[in-house]
Structure 1
């Protein structure tokens, strides 16, 4: 892969679904489909919205190890990123990725106590395309 940031970034930006994984109290992975990240910084940092009251937030607070995955089913390619997930509840982070239609999920607006931001920071990844995989550091 010549330019991993460009190649993987393009794959991610074209997906309408992303998958995030957390670790439960018994040490097992838990995966969930989510909307795509609201913002990304290259292929290193990703921001998602979620409910503060969710099971995922509880799991990330106890164990910040995480994985995110993006799949291009049309061309049967994908990328898995491994890293750490932080739960952010500060006003700056919440306002940074807030969108007006979010009120359908968070009726009290950007200051809704059940609205928070998940910030994923990747450490390494694995890209699959054309029947082969490539592992890389970030």
Structure 2
């Protein structure tokens, strides 16, 4: 059993360059996509990602906010899945909060680009895998 889930899982997440996010499509099937690591996290409960407002994923989250995110440490064969909800944020404060220099490569009109949005994931629970064992936890 993990002594400190926030520390153990937070350390795993911070070392990953890729996150896998899942949404539910109109037919009820999960859709998973690799993304750049979250721009910001609050403990192991709230995560912020950049995305395109016009993306299929943003449309799916607007239709059904149920989501999960997954982080995998391939070197040590560990991983964590977090289940919760995803919000599509388009307000200036959220967009400015995670904007980084160089983002104009993806959003040429800058932080106010109408095709730039923030995906805010809020976890409810999760499952951690390490040493050939899995462990459920609440957030």
Common fold by TM > 0.5: yes
Aligned equivalent of 1:88: 89
Aligned equivalent of 1:62: 63
Aligned equivalent of 1:107: 108
- Quote the RMSD (CA, aligned, Å): 0.3
Give, in whole Å, the separation in 2 of the partners of 1:17 and 1:86.
20
TM-score by length of 2: 0.99
Give, in whole Å, the separation in 1 of the partners of 2:115 and 2:101.
16
In structure 1, the residue corresponding to 2:95 is in which secondary structure?
helix
In structure 2, the residue corresponding to 1:74 is in which secondary structure?
coil
Give, in whole Å, the separation in 1 of the partners of 2:130 and 2:106.
36
Give, in whole Å, the separation in 2 of the partners of 1:134 and 1:100.
38
Shift >2 Å, 4+ stretches: none
For structure 2, the residue ranges without an aligned partner over 5 or more in a row are none
In structure 2, the residue corresponding to 1:134 is in which secondary structure?
strand
Give, in whole Å, the separation in 2 of the partners of 1:19 and 1:65.
14
The yes-or-no answer on 1:130 pairing with 2:131 is: yes
Give, in whole Å, the separation in 1 of the partners of 2:20 and 2:70.
5
TM-score by length of 1: 1.00
The yes-or-no answer on 1:40 pairing with 2:52 is: no
Residue 57 of structure 1 deviates from its aligned partner by 0.3
In structure 1, the residue corresponding to 2:44 is in which secondary structure?
coil
Give, in whole Å, the separation in 1 of the partners of 2:101 and 2:122.
26
Residue 100 of structure 1 deviates from its aligned partner by 1.2
For structure 1, the residue ranges without an aligned partner over 5 or more in a row are none
In structure 1, the residue corresponding to 2:51 is in which secondary structure?
strand
